[in-house]
Amino acid sequence: MSRVLSGTAIAAEIKREVAAEVAELASQGIRPTLAAVLVGNVAASQIYVRNKVKTCEELGLGSEMITPPASVTTEEMLALIAKLNADDAIDGILLQLPLPAQVDTKRLLEAVSPEKDVDGFHPINAGRIQSGQPGLAPCTPAGVIEILKRSGIPIAGQNAVVIGRSDIVGKPAAMLLLHQHATVTICHSKTRNLAEITRGADILVAAIGRAGFVTKEMVKPGATVIDVGINRITDHAEFEKFFAGDAKREALFAEKGSTIVGDVDPHAFEVAGAYTPVPGGVGPLTIAMLMANTVRAARMRRAVAGKSN
């Protein structure tokens, strides 16, 4: 039977470690603080940011929530970021995406000081990851590595295949796996003979953003499957394709009119040796790693040694 890798349990473990580090820093008069910038009134983004702020409070980190109006301009946002960059009390700056269409998202992300870029999106941090230098890694790929390590899944010498080449997940996940001495292949929508390549993977990371894209036939028996995708489905025929016979999920689908599925068809988990579920897999690690990055940023900015360094 396939082993379920609980991201929820691993995230809780990381949060306990972060809370201990925060307490240690507090004894030195340091309180790592995150500034979360939420533009406009997008309901999903509001929920995400509130959860991040709530987690900061639970772990003892400082937090500041800044809410510019949806009509904000790029210049106004640049001024805000410059102010946060200059504020020595702020260790991490989070720009909740997506931003409004009139705002130049790339320009704003690059304006954040690399030392405070707790999302790990700045090109300088991307370069540091590539060259193996200390830096702030994107939270979701960093979470993937934590799941593998803390679950005792061997990485060194393994064939790892990453499906997806985004700057936020695919590319950094591949680089982090490479630094753990895996042999890494990156696949994407233009890859030929994709199933043939994925069947050779000891570790398969799905981050392509398509519901149930990875099928049973694409997974090597006994492989570890890390499903990064979060896709909401509302069509009942699609629900039946993935979850036929799951009475509990059927009841929830009937009640809410939707359900969540990853980038991996749940039937593929039957042949896997271990896998991350959706929900409850990679998702919880994203916030946990954001907290860890905020502490890491605080230590690096102040040259304070510790676990996050």
Q: Which long-range contacts (CB under 8 A, 24 or more apart) does 22-25 make?
A: 22/59, 22/60, 22/61, 22/295, 23/60, 24/306, 25/295, 25/298, 25/299, 25/304, 25/306
Active site residue 52: yes
d(CA 208, CA 10): 23
Q: Is there a shared CATH topology between the 28-115 domain and the 139-284 domain?
A: yes
The pLDDT of residue 12 is above 90: yes
Burial code (b: 16+ CB inside 10 Å, e: under 16) for 112-149 equals bbbbbbbbbbbeebbebbeeeeebbbbbbbbbbbbbbe
Per-residue pLDDT, 203: 99
Q: Cα–Cα–Cα angle for 6, 162, 203, nearest 5°? A: 50
Per-residue pLDDT, 31: 97
User: How confident is the model over 227-233, as a mean pLDDT?
Assistant: 96
When computed from its CA atoms, the radius of gyration of the chain, rounded to whole angstroms, is 20
The pLDDT of residue 287 is above 60: yes
Read off φ and ψ for residue 303, nearest 5 degrees: 55, 45
Query: 126-139 pLDDT, tens per residue?
Result: 999 999 888 899 99
The pLDDT of residue 41 is above 90: no
**What is the domain partition of the chain in residue ranges?**
28-115, 139-284
Catalytic position from the list 15, 91, 116, 119: 119
**Of the given ranges (4-13, 86-95, 246-255), which has the lowest mean pLDDT?**
246-255
User: How confident is the model over 99-124, as a mean pLDDT?
Assistant: 96
121 and 168 Cβ atoms separated by less than 8 Å: yes
User: How confident is the model over 154-182, as a mean pLDDT?
Assistant: 97
User: How confident is the model over 18-33, as a mean pLDDT?
Assistant: 97
The pLDDT of residue 191 is above 70: yes
Per-residue pLDDT, 1: 85
Environment class of 104 (CB within 10 Å of its CB; exposed 0-12, middle 13-18, buried 19+): middle
Residue 210, both tokens: 């398509």
User: How confident is the model over 51-74, as a mean pLDDT?
Assistant: 97
Catalytic position from the list 15, 91, 96, 220: 96
Read off φ and ψ for residue 204, nearest 5 degrees: -115, 120
Which numeric CATH code is attached to 139-284?
3.40.50.720
Alpha helix segments (H runs only) across 188-279? 194-198, 236-243, 247-256
User: How confident is the model over 137-159, as a mean pLDDT?
Assistant: 98
* Structural fold of domain 28-115: Rossmann fold (3.40.50)
The pLDDT of residue 242 is above 90: yes
Active site residue 119: yes
User: How confident is the model over 68-88, as a mean pLDDT?
Assistant: 98
Query: 84-109 pLDDT, tens per residue?
Result: 999 999 999 999 999 999 999 999 99
User: How confident is the model over 188-217, as a mean pLDDT?
Assistant: 97
Q: What is the mean pLDDT of the chain?
A: 95
d(CA 259, CA 181): 36
Catalytic position from the list 52, 116, 171, 220: 52
Confidence of residue 308 (pLDDT cuts 50, 70, 90): low
The pLDDT of residue 28 is above 80: yes
Active site residue 216: no
